[in-house]
Amino acid sequence: MSTEEPSWLDIEEQETWLAMAGMLVRFPAALDAQLQRDAGISHFEYQVLAGLSMTSERTLRMSDLAEFAACSLSRLSHTAKRLEAKGWLTRTPDPSDGRYTLAVLTDAGWDKVTATAPGHVAEVRRLLIDPLTKAQYKQLREIGRRVNDAIGPTGVCPSARTA
């Protein structure tokens, strides 16, 4: 156990951290509330469907989709089961390697994403884009990239992958 004194945050650093911590909690909750109200799905369910919709064949390995959605395979499997029951997603063995399972967005799932996306984008715009100047959201994008790099490797956006 280290006996070194922690490098405590100064006032400006603490204010930055508290503003960010508040945003990290409140922003996803606001997006979830909008999606639940307008589309009857959670933000996480939307992320799963949207991740599949961004691929050329609307298909991803479950492991890649879990990486994109920043979740465990177990959480994704539970969600996939609910989405399958609604007819929005199917799971099938990967024909190129049977050790993997593919998640496939159905036509009904595609319809759900395309019907839900306009309201979701409007809420993202209202909460994130519109309150900021163009320079500020460019800064925020760079800040997000730097923080994510410090956290560690992340997956590639599904649109850049092949199933």
pLDDT of residue 3: 77
Cα of first residue to Cα of last residue in the chain, in angstroms, is 45
Select from 51, 38, 159 the least CA-distant residue to 105: 51
pLDDT of residue 111: 98
From CA 13, how far away is CA 16, in angstroms rounded? 5
pLDDT of residue 4: 86
- CB-CB neighbours of 109 under 10 Å: 23
Residue-level pLDDT, tens digit, the chain, 163 residues: 667 889 999 999 999 999 999 999 999 999 999 999 999 999 999 999 999 999 989 999 999 999 999 899 999 999 999 999 999 999 999 999 989 999 999 999 999 999 999 999 999 999 999 999 999 999 999 999 999 899 887 654 454 433 3
For 105, counting Cβ atoms within 10 Å of its Cβ (0-12 exposed, 13-18 middle, 19+ buried), the class is buried
pLDDT of residue 160: 40
